[in-house]
Structure 1
Amino acid sequence: MRTLNKILTTAAATMALGGAVLATASPASAASRNGVCETGEFCYYFNSNNQGSLSDFAGSVADYGTKQPSCFDFKGAGAGKGKCIKNSAASVWNRSGKTVRVYFNSNYGGTYQDFKPGARGNLTPSLKNQNASHQFGPSTSARVNMSYALYKTGGGHISCGFDGYTSTRGRHEGIDIARGIGSDVHALVSGQLIYVARGHNGGSGLSTIAIYNASLNKTIIYLHSAPRSSLRVGQQISRGQIIADEAWHGVSSSGAAHTHVEMRPGRQQLAAKSVGDPTLSNPNPNSFWVSQGYNVR
């Protein structure tokens, strides 16, 4: 009998110990989007100064969505609970061990603000209620603005972003960048020249340069600029090589001169239709440009 009691006592102790082990192990796997800002997470708050409902994350998110029930929303108690977080956050708390970068655009593009591990703070005026994505551990290598890299000099600017039409019917399939007629236009990505149409100034003279990068399986298409006379289909183009001069080929007036830059998946000779087409054919390119070392600005 004493032997049986000893066995039962030992078993009970083992179960108790096992229960204690399980109890201490469970918090380690508890981190989830539960409306509590826990260790290892990055959290948005609906109001300034870390007030209102919060939304907690354990990793990067490129697109928050904009409609329930599929969007990322505020989950904690307080003002804003249940609202989609895109363009709705005012402050943050970074409880992760990495720097977290908040972006103005989806897919890690546009103006950004960094928060070091442990930092709490309000979003800057340019990002308050304008947050569209965030990234854990962003690259520390310096990125170059696309508007600078395209011309290799200052003065360029994005005149129309991806899907950025405001007064034109259709969906804009690329990014328009302008500096001035005659400015050197440089290739942003290396690859093989697979198509060139030289065009001419005016609305009916569209020019096209298509450069395919096989390792990325992407084609970069440049419209409206005047291709250099040395370009020949089949030649290899280096990143940064001058390929054209800014012009208004396929544009109705010289005052609207710009270079349209379009990223297309796969091998493509022509740009996707933008004007008058209600459906996007290309994915949002911002994350691609970031991966190539550029800021989309």
Structure 2
Amino acid sequence: MKQLTKTLSLAGAAIAVTASTLGAGATPAFAASRDGVCNSGEFCYYYNSGEAGSISDFTGSIADYGTTQPGCYDFKGAGAGKGLCIKNNAASVWNRSTKTVRVYFNSSYGGTYQSIAAGAKANLNATLKNNNASHQFVTASSTACSTSGLGDPRTCSGAVAWANDHLGSTSLGTGTCDHVVALAYGWSSSGSHDAYLHWTQVPSTYKHAGDRSVPAGGLAFFSGGSQGYGHVMLSLGGGSFASTDVGTDGRYHAGRYGKTTIATIESSFGEHYLGWTQPWFKVNH
């Protein structure tokens, strides 16, 4: 259980912070401008899950949060956690900036990371919850689909070509979404029982939770469904996706392979968008 420490006043913290103890790219003036309120344009950490507890707000990337008072970046908002250093103490985030923000396991933007899309709220995943060491603002285009090190028979562009060639097909079955994305990448099966299980098996290195800017070839995952199996579809780029059980209007149509969007799946299938992953398949790991 997290231990609360004595809250430092904003004035005291601002005086004590020096350039030598701030993260890369930050200044004392920048630190002093943080007010513990998640304003438009900011990326915010929360001490508790579900965007609860004290807030620590940022407008730029930070490579090193520091680990001790009075020189660390801390939680400044009211509530549980106020005054604690944020390193390895955050449980959820709200990205109110216009860029994707990556939360990293290590300082200096190292190790595994979780991508938080512009405007998204998210709990940090099991790897990063209370293990956050740095964060970086990135443009959506900086993360592309890649099969590097994954051993997929087809490249990202090859999978997209396969999907486009099969749009309109009625021979791929019903409820076969996880199987079909594997077919697109040249596998005979995904190695996972269902889409949601597939999502949970993907290493955090290849995951972008909450990020809706899915590059062509990326796999977009959802949770929910009548049996809890979720859904997965392949990005065609530009916000379009190839999906099983989708008709010409992009909405649910059993047995047809069609083109749709994340928002349409949310409304038509009634499922919750989780994020996207690189083309990692259990069958090869």
Q: Do Structure 1 and Structure 2 share a fold, with TM-score over 0.5?
A: no
TM-score of the two chains, using structure 2 as the length reference: 0.39
TM-score of the two chains, using structure 1 as the length reference: 0.38
Largest Rg, 1 or 2: 1
Which has the larger strand fraction?
A: 1
